[in-house]
Every structure is written in C-alpha cells, then in structure tokens.
Amino acid sequence: MLALALAAGEARAPGQGRKVNEWLNHCGDVYARAFSWGDSHWIHWRGLGVFAFSTGSHQVRVWPESDIQYRSIVDTFSRILQPVILQALGWEALHAGAAVAPAGVLAFCGRAGSGKSTLAFAMQQAGWKQFADDALVLRLDQDCVTACPLPFRPELRPASRAHFGNAHLPPAQQTQPDVPLVGVFLLKQDIGLMSPRVSLIPKARAFVELLAHAHCFDLCDSTHRRRLVDDYLRVAARVPIFTLEYQPNFQHLPQLTRAVVEAVTIMDPSADGASELWHAALAP
C-alpha cells in the first residue's frame, strides 16, 4: 500500500513539530516518537532512522541512521510502521493475526504472547489461508468492514515453530485482494480450561475491548481520536466480536482451530465450503 524510499541529506529535526505519540519497550524506555506539523508527519525510530510522510501521499521517505542495513529498515517498516502510518492516513489497523474463512476474514487479537500468530498459522491446517501475521488494516465503507492485505512474513516464536516441525516460513508475501471482515476473536489464555470456550461479546463491551488492540498514530488530536472511536463503534456494530478462551497448550491446537471453524459455521452455515472445512478441521 505504501512505497518506502531512501532520502538523501539530513532529515528535518522531528522536534520542530507537535509530538503526537511515543512508543515504549518492556523496560519503559522510549524507542520511537511521532510528530506532526500540518500535513507533514514523522516517526523517529531510535537506532533505525527518521520516517516522513504526508497526508494524501502513499510515499514514505526514510533517513537511515548510520550502519543500518536496509533489510532491517524494510522489515520494521512492513511489520510495525506501515499499519500505524496507514491509520494516520485514514485507514484503521488492528494488532492482530488473521485467516481467510469461507465467508471472509477472521481476526485474532490479544496481548503479546497470546497466540495470535500461532493460531493464524495453524488455521492453514483447516484449509484456511493466512491473511495477516501481526497487523490487520481495515477500510470502512458504508455497509461493511473490509480487510486490506499487506505483504507479510509469518513470524513464529521458537516454541511454535518447533511444534510445527520447524516449519519453513515463506518470505514476505502479498495476500489475496480485499476481503470482508466477518469476525474477530479476542484471545484469552486460561490454564484451567480443558476445552476452548467461545462467547459472543455484547456490542457495547466489544467496542471497548476491541479498541484496546487498535493502532493509533495521533493520541493528542481530538479529530483524530474522534475518527478512531467512531470507526471502532462501527466495527463493533457490524462485525461479531467473540472471546476465545483456551488453555495454552500446543496439544490443544486442533481443539482451538475446531472451535473457530464451528463458530464461523454457526455464523454463516450456508457459506460455500463451510461444512467441508468444518469436517476437515474435525478430522484427526
């Protein structure tokens, strides 16, 4: 969706603009800050470089810091920065993995380590193509919410990769065209559960819980915040949001994928191929 271009010379000091956001690591240290000045925007990523973009343009310029490999810049931009920048430009972006079901795209949201990437990858065993690994970009039209594909490379933690037999992870890939978003599962681990539990969340609470997983570029501008809130109110009103509680155990993955397939089949039992995929997921 966005074009990344290396810029020559020195980047204009980001501090000249209004600081709109900052990102912290697990130790509480700031590793990136975002600034705006009119229609011009920057993200200063410590140890990587300065990324600049403008409202109405799909080009992002980057001034790399010295001795930084371009591959590292592209990887961070694709996985983390592009969804945030797209959100600033008018889309919405969820911190989520995703898979393509017969009726459309299913998103899997949760905290770091909750199993989003693992479940999105595992759904391929039920015959469903992975659509996103860590970020899902959404476009809101009058009557539907559409998932927009971004190039991605599946990222599995070492334990997950070992479970899948050290599966070969393909290079960054472009998924299929835009597809309707038909369901969101909020993942919650519970070591006491013997089998997965799927619960439909009331719309008012679904909005609040879903908003916690939204990317947001500008936390300070009231117009930007209002758009974010309005958009996610519309998502919660149009798309079923479920809680998916499960025991974090790789041996229970077949039960987990089965629970997802069953929930989607109930949502749209007439979808072409739904019953076949359900039986495939139930097979040992």
Q: Give the pLDDT band (50/70/90) at residue 283.
A: very low
- The helix (run of H) or strand (run of E) holding residue 120 is helix 116-122
Q: What is the pLDDT of residue 166?
A: 57
Say how far apart CA 22 and CA 280 lie, in whole Å.
45
145-197 per-position pLDDT tens digit: 999 988 887 776 777 766 677 555 554 455 567 899 999 999 998 888 888 99
Average pLDDT value for the chain: 85
Say how far apart CA 82 and CA 137 lie, in whole Å.
9
Say how far apart CA 132 and CA 71 lie, in whole Å.
20
Contacts for 25 with CB less than 8 Å, ≥ 6 apart:
31
34-82 per-position pLDDT tens digit: 999 989 999 999 999 999 999 999 999 999 998 889 999 998 998 889 9
Where do the domains of the chain lie, and which CATH numbers do they carry? Answer: 3-88 (no CATH), 92-282 (3.40.50)
Q: Give the pLDDT band (50/70/90) at residue 267.
A: low
The pTM is what?
A: 0.85
83-97 per-position pLDDT tens digit: 999 999 999 999 999
CA dihedral over 168, 127, 95, 263, signed as positive or negative: negative
Q: How far is CA 223 from the centre of its chain?
A: 23
Q: Are 126 and 151 in contact (CB under 8 A)?
A: no
Q: Are 114 and 188 in contact (CB under 8 A)?
A: yes
